[in-house]
Structure 1
C-alpha cells in the first residue's frame, strides 16, 4: 500500500516522467530513448520512486516489463496531471517570439524522404532553437501513447480523432514491371489476372502483407497477390521490378525515373486512381507548440 501522505521533492517530477515513459513503452530502453537518458538512469529513477512511495510499480523479467496494480492506478491518475503540466509549459513556449523546443515526429521512411528531407536543412537553419526528433516507423504507431507530437501517413490512414494537415498532393499507385517481363509473361488486363503473375509483395513492419487495391468506375478489387519475392522497402521493390523479377505495386513517384527512361512500364493503368496524399497529423486535444506550428507552416508553404 502507498503511504497516506507524500510531500513532493525536487526529483519526484523527473521520476514521474520516467515512470510514465516506461509505463507507455513497457521498455526501459525505449523510455530512455524518449527522455534522452541511459537505461540505467531510468532504472535508478524508478527504483528511487518506488522506495519513496513504498510500493512496487513494475513487474520486471528479463524479457518483459508490466505495470503492477498500483502502477496502473498511478499511471491513470498521473497522465492527465503531466499532460496539463506539459501544456502549461508549451503555452509559455508559444508566447516566446522564436519557436523553440523539441518536436518528435513518427513517420515511415518513405514519408520522411518525401516530405521532411527536402525542408530539413532550411528549416533548422531558420529555427535554430528547434530540435527535431524523427523516428522512422512503418507500423502506424499510436503517436499519443508513444509520446510523439505528430506523425505523417496517408490521409486515409489518419485516425478520425486527429487533426490532419495535407502536406502533399494526390498520390497514385502504379503496377509496374520491366519490358522484358511483360514480353515473356504478357500484361494483365484485369486485376484478377495478377493471380497468374509473379508479383513482388510488400510487408509492413507489423508483419502484415499489403493487399493490392484497385478501383475503376466505383468497382474496388483487392488482390492478395503471390510471388517469389517479398520486401519491406518500396524502393527495393522498384529495383526488383527493373531487374525483371515481377510486377510491383508502389506509389508512382518512386518509379517515375525508370518509367520515363523506359526501364519500367505500367499495367492496369485505368485501375489505378489517385488518392489523398500524405498528411501531418496530431492530437487536437493537446496544445500545438510554437516549434510544431513552425514545422506545419513550413510544410504547407506558409513560411
Structure 2
C-alpha cells in the first residue's frame, strides 16, 4: 500500500461514490477502482460494500478510514518538516568556540539567533584554537568562532572576519611591569607564561609561542598549561607567572584587586590585536549554516 492509495480510499469513503471520488482525484474511475481493489488485497479485508448503486464502508473500512486520515496528516507534516529542514529553518547546528570566549557577550548572539530560528537545535563545543579547526575538518563542528591564526593552513575552510580584539598582558600586583600603562611583546621576553592549552602538546604547537615569536621575537617560557581562563587568572594572581589574553577574556576582571591588566601595543603605539572569525568547511551542506551566516551578516556584530 502507498499514500496515493490511502488518498484514493479516503476520497471514496468521504464521497461514497467512485465516480465523484475519481473526479476529485483527477484519475479515471477504472484507475480508482483498481487502486482500491489493490489496497483491499494488501490490507486483507474488504473496506467497502458496493454494488452498481450503493457504496458504504465495512466495519473494517471505518477503522481504516480513521487511521488513514491520521497517516496522511502525519505524512504531510513530515513533508513540511523536510522542506523547512532543507531551507535551514529546522535542523541542528554544532558551534565551536574558542576557550575564554564564554566571557564575552557570545551568549547574547546565540540567544538572538535562537529567537530568530527557534527550531534549529544548537550544540556547543569549547576548545582551543588549533583543535577547533580540526573539528571543522572531521565534521564534529559545523561552524566555529575562532581567532584567525591558521586559516591559511586549511584549504577547504571558508571564513569570515567578525571582530578585532585588543590583546592584554595579565600580571599580578607587585610585578615589576604592573605600573606600566601599556607594554610591548618584547617587554615580556623573560617572563614565565601560563597559557590555555591541553597538557602534553609540544611548545611548537602552542598558539602563544607563534604569537610571541612573530610579534616579540622570543620563545615564551611556558610553565603551566590550563584548560580554563579562570584557572589561568587564579595562577597569575597568585604570582605563578603572567598570561596574554584577548580583551574579551578579561573584560570582567579589569578592576580586580588581585590582577593587573595592561594593554599590549606595537612599536607605533597602536594596539596589538587578534582577529576573530567565523569559519566553516566548504563542503558542509548543512542549510542551518547559511541561516546563521545570513543572520550574522544582517545583524551588527558587537561582541
Q: State TM-score, norm by structure 2.
A: 0.54
Q: Is the 8 A contact 1:103 1:149 kept in 2?
A: yes
Q: Is the 8 A contact 1:91 1:287 kept in 2?
A: no
**1:164 paired residue number:** 159
1:135 shift after superposition: 2.0
1:130 shift after superposition: 0.8
Q: Is the 8 A contact 1:212 1:225 kept in 2?
A: no
* Secondary structure class of the residue paired with 1:281: strand
**1:280 paired residue number:** 278
**2:292 paired residue number:** 295
Does residue 231 (structure 1) correspond to residue 229 (structure 2)? The answer is: no
Q: Is the 8 A contact 1:150 1:281 kept in 2?
A: yes
User: CA 1:194/1:297 → structure 2, altered by over 3 Å: closer, same or farther?
Assistant: same
Deviations 1:175-201 (A, max 9, x none): 221231227999997755545433324
1:285 shift after superposition: 3.2
Q: How many residues align?
A: 209
1:264 shift after superposition: 0.6
Matches within 5 A, 1:1-303: 92-93=83-84, 96=87, 99-111=89-101, 114=104, 116-138=106-128, 139-140=131-132, 141-158=134-151, 159-167=154-162, 169-182=163-176, 191=185, 194-204=188-198, 207-209=201-203, 210=206, 211=209, 213-214=211-212, 220-226=215-221, 228-260=223-255, 263-266=259-262, 269-270=265-266, 273-287=271-285, 289=287, 291-302=288-299
Q: State TM-score, norm by structure 1.
A: 0.54
**2:46 paired residue number:** none
- Where structure 1 has 5 or more consecutive residues not aligned to the other structure, the ranges are 1-89
1:282 shift after superposition: 1.5
Q: Is the 8 A contact 2:166 2:264 kept in 1?
A: no
CA distance, structure 2, for counterparts of residue 182 and residue 152 of structure 1: 35
CA distance, structure 1, for counterparts of residue 281 and residue 222 of structure 2: 39
User: CA 1:257/1:161 → structure 2, altered by over 3 Å: closer, same or farther?
Assistant: same
Deviations 1:204-243 (A, max 9, x none): 467244316358xxx7434332265332323322333233
CA distance, structure 2, for counterparts of residue 299 and residue 206 of structure 1: 36
Q: CA RMSD in A?
A: 4.0
* Secondary structure class of the residue paired with 1:180: coil
Deviations 1:146-175 (A, max 9, x none): 3432222112333343221223x2122222
Q: Is the 8 A contact 1:150 1:280 kept in 2?
A: yes
Deviations 1:54-97 (A, max 9, x none): xxxxxxxxxxxxxxxxxxxxxxxxxxxxxxxxxxxx9944665x
